[in-house]
Structure 1
Amino acid sequence: MRLNYTKIVSIGLLVITSLVGCESKSNPKQTKNKPNIVLFFVDDLGWSDLGFRNPIFESPNINSLAKSGLSFEQAYIPTPTCSPSRATLLTGKHPVRLEMVRHIPGGKKNGFDQFGRGSIEYHLLPRDPAQFPSRNWLPLEHKTYAEALKTQGYYNMFLGKWHLGHESYHPNKQGFDKQIGTSNFGHPKSYYPPYFRQDSIFEDTKNTYLTDKLTNEAVCFIRNYKKENPFLLTFSYYSAHSPHEGRKDLVAYFEAKGLKGKFAHYAAMVKATDESVGRVMQAIKDAGKEKETIFIFLSDQGGYFENAPFRGGKMTETLFEGGARIPFFFYWDGVTSPNSKNDTPVQSTDLFPTLVEIAGGDTSIYQNLDGVSLLSTIKENKLLKERTLFGYRAYEDLYASVRDGDWKLLTYRSGKTELFNISKDVKEEYDLNTKMPDIVDKLKDKLIKWEKEMNVEKYSGMSLK
């Protein structure tokens, strides 16, 4: 099933596309039998913050992408917060292994200057009960998927949010051939110019909404790409991260529909992101590359606002389903089947080995990967072999989760535990901790063993039992 982008993308968007300022150039036929890859990575977009899951939102392009391919219905971020989620996506390694269990902060008190640059490798968070030191950048020795795909002949483009360190650790130092719109900060100060405290980023742009500006750059890249090599385009959105500032016309649109204040702005941000996805996919189609391009869509953690039907979110109870479960879709023309859903629990650790296999590489040469390739599942929609998935953060008392089959254990630094059966209680309302002690002990033991393997047992809440 092909996506009908033409009907999805509005006339207004086509006008915007024509004003991008880049001319279309003929692309030579791709000679290598490897697909292009377009990865949409959205910030703070909850599992249910899409139109086909919540009618408040309008996302026809993303809806179509999801329904035209395969949706992993139980996809998780191991450490649901900005920097760790990005580090894991790039490396296939759990944030605990990377020693990045919190977002990279800023400010003088954490050793950063006004440009977000620092020389202190780790930081502590006063309210973290474990006082777990967390990294302030992604070390260069960890191989990224860009570096892995480069060995397979790919050209790697990075657009947008990085939040994994300052210039010495930027995408162009981590396997990407080019980066555009990348700052040292985790979010813009405004979605209208000037976007960042670093004036050198899009300094000549006037009045253009940031999501649209990045999309213009993505469309230009696709239109002008002339190399015979396949390409990987990582579009890492700043939206829908705060400040919640929607595009003005879309805010007015949602206000007219009855939404108010920050909710109108958030809905507008989601719709602007959806328009962006539609424009990029249309550019691929216009370039005649639809049949040789894979589209991947996911977010970095749960949403900022309500995450119905789940409990938790970005700001509170983040290891509950509302904070850790994300939208995760694959569309590959002629390979994925339309309207496919897969209920196997997967993690973003799985993307690195999946991309390596798609590119024709050998995952066995990369050490300490914590994910598995989803390629056969993408092609055949098979259930994966059951495995135990671990979530982990170092912000507050709640610090770890253990997902094993239908069971999910939540553990706290204080020694408290909670147990839920996700298949029967997706809202995590009924704690079975005292009713199923054998299951609790089994999952505790798995966590303790895993913490020892990751060399973080000294921070364990289980030692307090």
Structure 2
Amino acid sequence: MKSSLQYKILLLISLSFSLNAISQKKIDKLPNVVFILADDVGYADLGIDGGTVPTPNIDSLAMQGMRFTDAHSPAALCAPSRFSLLTGSYPYRNGRPGGSWDVNNSSGFSFNGDRTKAGRHITVGEIMQDAGYKTAFFGKMHLGGNVYNEKGEVIRQKNKLNTMDYSRGVDDALSNHGFDYWLGLLSGIQHEPYAYFENGKYRPADLSSPATNESTRLLKNGFYRVSDNGLSEIVEAGNVPARGDVNYDSSQAGIILTNGAVEFIDHHVKENEDKGKDQPFLLYFASQAIHVPHTPPFDFDGDPETIDEQVYGKTGAVTSDMLYELDLQVGKIIEKLKEEGILENTLIIFTSDNGALWPRVTHYGDPSHDNNGPLRDYKASIYEGGHRVPFIAKWGDGTEAGSVIKPGSVSDQLIVGHDWVATMYELTQQNMEEDQAKDSASLLPILTGKQPENEPLHEFVLYQAGFAFDGAIREGDLVLMVDRENQATELYDLSTDLGQENNLIDKPEYGETVKRLKAKFLKYNDHDIETIEPRTTTAFKVN
């Protein structure tokens, strides 16, 4: 990738002119970009989409920007989606369609390149670095990497992660893939290691503790009293005791990550002022909410003695408390951008990694809260409920005259979450390499109102269930399901059957359509180790 400082300066100068053409509103410089990824938030969870849990901060983004009604996560489960949301390519593109999950797996960006040739997957962080951005990541990862035992051997067995030498940290992580700074949980709040890592190094929850194994302990499933601001819970340690920070507290994860994001913005703005620079930033914020364990803090400001912002018990149930906390996280980031005077020139994108939580793990305070609306099924499913998610974009001051994205606008375009990657290519006017972001189409023409609603962004999209056992192809309003044996099993017309109750697969009039869609699905989703499937989108090129 290009790294010349002179090139970056010239690129920024040229972009200040090219951006004027994006909207009638004059844009003097590249915007900051904040990408917010929720965990397990469903199609109808947000207030703006009919949910009963208060989400005023997220709702405000929609009211001041654009809301999409037909947006989909790259997969119906978190780990595969997270690879795609950083690369713009479907999960199967690296030969690991089920995702990288924990750090007993190698990095999803380095793994197998494009399977049959050398190479790796360029992340959106690298794209933005090449455009002169400072880049930062906070939150849940599920992206793989290399961790080591005390002998310096790479650990590749999940049940051996508790032998990890924390003093060695993790490598082939986000520092190696486009992020100047990162702070996160390598496997989320539900998987080992239960600890924070910063720029590849173990960062104890108590910063005065040594960043070594001395600051860790073995943990089993159950509740742990760690602080006075909530209860920590371990829910997926498995049969073998897991290792984590002695002060690890799942109830404080959202506070730590949000404070880290706010501190990054604060530091970046001050650095710009001190050095007389005007460098934009990319902030990728991958919240832990609302994934299990559902352990909201008592007070979001961190002091249970004086409850300034109650979370636990706010809504009447822990799942909806977590959704409420997610909104507080978003609100705190928005408030910081506003405080620094940079909110109106920040493009904010909000979406979720997969569809709504299953009913068996949801405990919403209001029994009328429906997290999935009319959609069939939930997270991990190939049906619409598994992957149709909220997607909101805001860029401007909330007024029509002062906004690039028209406030209160709604788009029914079929999009995929990883389309934001191609959007960054177009925003920064960089050519996309043919073997990168292979399934991503730029949203910029839609966001700026230049592409009519009746002109589809995608000719077709592919759906993936949780672990890629089942898939589907969507073309227009028709969705064809294909099972793990590559058999076409179900066909639905979403224009008349959003709940997917009427299977059309055996209707004679759809016979040729089924054959054609199945052939197209297999062409692009073959998984044959000797095959490199073609792009599903056209690579963005600067005119």
Tell me which of 353, 360, 376 is aligned to 1:311. 376
Cα 1:121–1:363 shift into 2, 3 Å: closer
Map 1:357-376 to 2 at 5 A.
357-364=426-433, 367=436, 369-376=438-445
What residue number does 2:411 align with?
A: 342
Q: Give distance in 2, aligned partners of 1:63 and 1:105.
A: 31
Q: Match for 1:154: what amino acid? A: Y
Q: Does 1:47 align with 2:50?
A: no
- Note the 1:91-110 alignment, pairs <5 A: 91-106=87-102
Q: CA RMSD in A?
A: 3.0
Asked if 2 retains the 8 angstrom alpha-carbon contact of 1:91 and 1:144, the reply is yes
- The gaps in structure 2 that reach 5 residues or longer are 1-11, 17-28, 146-169, 208-226, 230-250, 273-277, 299-309, 360-371, 397-402, 532-543
Distance in 1 (CA, whole Å) between partners of 2:97 and 2:143 is 12
Cα displacement (A) at 1:105: 4.5
CA change 1:120–1:37 in 2 (3 A) is closer
Name the amino acid aligned to 1:213: I
Distance 1:146 1:55, change over 3 A: closer
Conserved 8 A contact 2:296-2:318 = yes
Measured against aligned partners, the alpha-carbon deviations of 1:363-393 in whole angstroms (never above 9, x if no partner) come to 3566462111111111116334351101234
TM-score normalized with structure 1 length: 0.77
CA deviation vs aligned residue, 1:106-131 (integer Å, no higher than 9, x gap): 5xxxxxxxxx4456999xxxxxxxxx
* 1:313-372 CA distance string (max 9 Å, x none): 114xx1111111111111010101111111111112312110121123223566462111
Letter in 2 for 1:159: F
Matched to 1:186, the amino acid is: G
Post-superposition offset of 1:214? 1.2
Structure 2: how far apart are the matches of 1:40 and 1:200?
A: 24
CA distance in 1, matches of 2:431, 2:375: 37
Per-residue deviation at 1:250? 2.5
User: 1:230 & 1:36 partners in 2: Cα distance?
Assistant: 5
Q: Which residue of 1 aligns with 2:195?
A: 196
Alignment TM-score, normalising by the size of structure 2: 0.66
Q: 1:235 to 1:424 in 2, by over 3 A?
A: same
Show structure 1 runs of 5+ residues with no match: 1-29, 107-115, 123-132, 256-263, 459-465
Closer/same/farther in 2, CA of residues 119 and 360 from structure 1, 3 Å limit: closer
Is the alpha carbon distance of 1:140 and 1:82 closer, same or farther for their aligned partners in structure 2, counting shifts above 3 Å?
farther
What is the CA deviation profile of residues 134-174 of structure 1, one whole-angstrom value per residue up to 9, with x for unaligned ones?
99xxx982111110111110000111111101322321111
User: Relative contact order (C-alpha < 8 Å, sep 6+): which is higher?
Assistant: 1
Larger C-alpha radius of gyration, 1 or 2? 2
Q: 1:396 to 1:277 in 2, by over 3 A?
A: closer
Aligned to 2:521: 447
Name the CA distance, whole Å, in 2 between partners of 1:381 and 1:81. Answer: 32
Q: In structure 2, which of residues 349, 352, 355 is the aligned counterpart of residue 296 of structure 1?
A: 349
Closer, same or farther: CA 121–47 of 1 in aligned 2, 3 Å: closer
Aligned partner of 1:233 among 267, 278, 283: 283
- Which of residues 386, 391, 394 in structure 2 aligns to 1:331? 394
Q: Distance in 1 between matches of 2:411 and 2:426?
A: 20
AA in 1 matched with 2:67? S
Conserved? CA contact 1:117–1:184, under 8 Å: no
Letter in 1 for 2:267: N
User: Deviation at 1:235?
Assistant: 0.6
Distance of 2:420 and 2:51 partners within structure 1: 29
Counterpart of 1:321 in structure 2 is 384
Describe the superposition over 1:294-315 as per-residue Cα deviations: whole angstroms up to 9, x where unpaired: 1010110002135222111114
| 1:51 shift after superposition | 1.6
CA displacement, residues 252-285 of structure 1 (integer Å, 9 cap, x when unaligned): 2222xxxxxxxx1110111101011111011101
Question: Where does residue 164 of structure 1 map in the other structure?
Answer: 143
Contact 1:80 1:324 in 2 (8 A): yes
Offset at residue 237 of structure 1 (A) = 0.9
Instruction: Return the offset for 1:418.
Output: 0.5
Residue correspondence of structure 1 range 262-281 to structure 2 within 5 A: 264-281=317-334
Query: Given that residues 482 and 489 in structure 2 are in contact (C-alpha distance below 8 angstroms), is that contact kept between their aligned partners in structure 1?
Result: yes
Matches within 5 A, 1:30-109: 33-106=29-102
Deviation digits for residues 32-58 of structure 1, max 9, x if unmatched? 621100110111111111122234311
The residue that corresponds to 2:179 in the other structure is 176
1:253 matched to which residue of 2? 314
* Equivalent in the alignment of 2:25: none
Equivalences, count: 391
* SS of residue matched to 2:378: coil
Query: Which whole-Å CA distance do the structure 2 matches of 1:295 and 1:119 have between them?
Result: 31
Please give the alpha-carbon distance, in whole angstroms, between the structure 2 residues aligned to 1:242 and 1:79. 19
For the 8 Å contact 2:75–2:466, the answer to whether it is kept is no
> CA–CA distance in 2 between the matches of 1:164 and 1:56?
33
Q: CA contact under 8 A between 2:97 and 2:468: conserved in structure 1?
A: no
Q: CA offset at residue 209 of structure 1?
A: 2.2
**8 Å Cα contact 1:152-1:359 kept in structure 2:** yes
Question: Retained in 2: the 8 A contact 1:38–1:295?
Answer: yes
CA distance in 2, matches of 1:288, 1:242: 35
Q: Distance in 2 between matches of 1:353 and 1:294?
A: 15
Q: Is the 8 A contact 2:106 2:144 kept in 1?
A: no
Question: What CA distance in whole angstroms lies between the structure 1 residues aligned with 2:421 and 2:468?
Answer: 29
Task: Give secondary structure in 1 for the equivalent of 2:314.
Answer: helix
Q: Measure the CA separation in 1 of the matches of 2:474 and 2:253.
A: 37
